[in-house]
Amino acid sequence: MAKSNLAVRLMTAAVVAPLLLAIMFFAPPWGWYVVVVVATIIGSTELFLLSHPGDRVAQSVGVASAVGVSLVVYFRTTDARALLTMVFVVCVVGGLMPLWRLGEIKTAAGRIAGGIAGPLYIGGLLTTIGLLRRDLGDEGPHYVVLTLLIAWWGDTGGYFFGRFLGKTKLYEAISPKKTREGFFGSIVGSLIGAAVACLWFLPTLPLAHGLALALVGGALGQFGDLVESLLKRSTGIKDTGKIVPGHGGILDRLDAVFITSPVVYLYAIWFGPAS
């Protein structure tokens, strides 16, 4: 079963990766942002199906809020009034939604938290990978690839280290299969990905900076993976969806990217080419 799933994962990557790279490098920045919006819609749908089960109205409002956050972050990045207004509206709508869609009282706290945090987590954090493509000029696509290498090579390193060397549980209450060896392997994978980027297609990024980004982004990305595992465990599901063959849902595939992308973008605007 494991070999079969790995084969499906590799076939999916072989089909999807060239398409994403083509859009990333040859389409205008807004073309890549369209991909981000689609991922935001699918990912927030998966999230609100879990946090607001059976309530199509609340789910639709949550997805719309996530897309709204993404649009404001992307198109009004430097407009403090727009950003503050967006945060206020999301908090008010998410907080008041359970008063309109009451449902079960015992789940209201989770729905309030999900309605507020969900749009910011999905729409806000994921949009930074669109900002990387737009704001860093000719190096934008390369920084996007760097981000994906840190996140996804980290996942790959964690998978193989955990499978062949894993013995000590990392956080059994949340994810029984994750091990400390796998966590170490994920950091190794992220470091290799960053080194490849610095030495091959992103020579303007100092190797020391790239490795530091890999350490911070890779470690935090794995904690993002644990957050998604906690979400699934709390709702009793294995995968958030089936849209990505062999990988599950968008949240399953992008759990580390949600954290790694903001880390790389913040580096870029404080210390890198957008500073």
Q: Average pLDDT in the 244-264 region?
A: 86
Residue 132: predicted pLDDT: 97
Residue 242 clears pLDDT 60, i.e. is over it? yes
pTM of the model: 0.92
CA distance 8 to 6: 5
- Token pair of 87 as six digits: 């945060």
pLDDT category, 1, cuts 50, 70, 90? very low
State what percent of residues in the chain have pLDDT above 70: 95
- Cα distances (Å, whole numbers) of residue 269 to 8, 117, 176, 272: 37, 24, 38, 6
Q: Quick one: which of 185, 219, 184, 210 has its CA closest to 264?
A: 210
Ramachandran category for residue 103: left, alpha or beta (phi over 0 → left; psi -120 to 50 → alpha): left
Residue 203 has a pLDDT of 95
Find all residues with CB under 8 Å of 145, minimum gap 6, and list them. 21, 24, 197, 201, 202
Between 107 and 240, residue with greater pLDDT:
107
Binned at pLDDT 50, 70 and 90, residue 246 comes out as low
The token pair at 65 is 């809020």
- Which burial class, exposed, middle or buried, applies to 106 when counting CB atoms under 10 A from its CB (0-12, 13-18, 19+)? exposed
d(CA 232, CA 260): 20
Confidence of residue 252 (pLDDT cuts 50, 70, 90): confident
10 Å CB burial of residue 131 (0-12, 13-18, 19+) is: buried
**Residues ≥6 apart with Cβ < 8 Å to 131:** 73, 74, 77, 265
Q: Find the mean pLDDT for residues 174-185.
A: 92
Sorted by where each begins, the domain ranges of the chain are 2-270
Tokens standing for residue 159: 């998978």
Out of 7-11, 70-74, 181-185, 208-212, least confident range: 7-11
Lowest mean pLDDT among 33-37, 135-139, 247-251: 247-251
Q: Which residue has the tokens 């400390």?
A: 180
Alpha-carbon distance of 126 to 28, in angstroms, equals 18
Q: Is 169 helix (H, G, I), strand (E, B) or coil?
A: strand
| Whole-number average pLDDT of the chain | 91
Sorting pLDDT into bands at 50, 70 and 90, what band is 4? low
What phi and psi, each to the nearest 5 degrees, are found at residue 38? -60, -45
DSSP letter for 103, please: -
What's the pLDDT tens digit per position in 147-162? 999 999 999 999 899 9
C-alpha distances in Å from residue 110, one per residue of 117, 206, 275: 10, 43, 38
Q: Band of the pLDDT at 248, cuts 50, 70, 90?
A: confident
**Is the model's pLDDT at 94 over the cut of 90?**
yes
Q: Please name the residue ranges forming H helices in 107-179.
A: 108-119, 125-135, 140-148, 154-165
Asked if pLDDT for residue 255 goes beyond 80, the answer is: yes
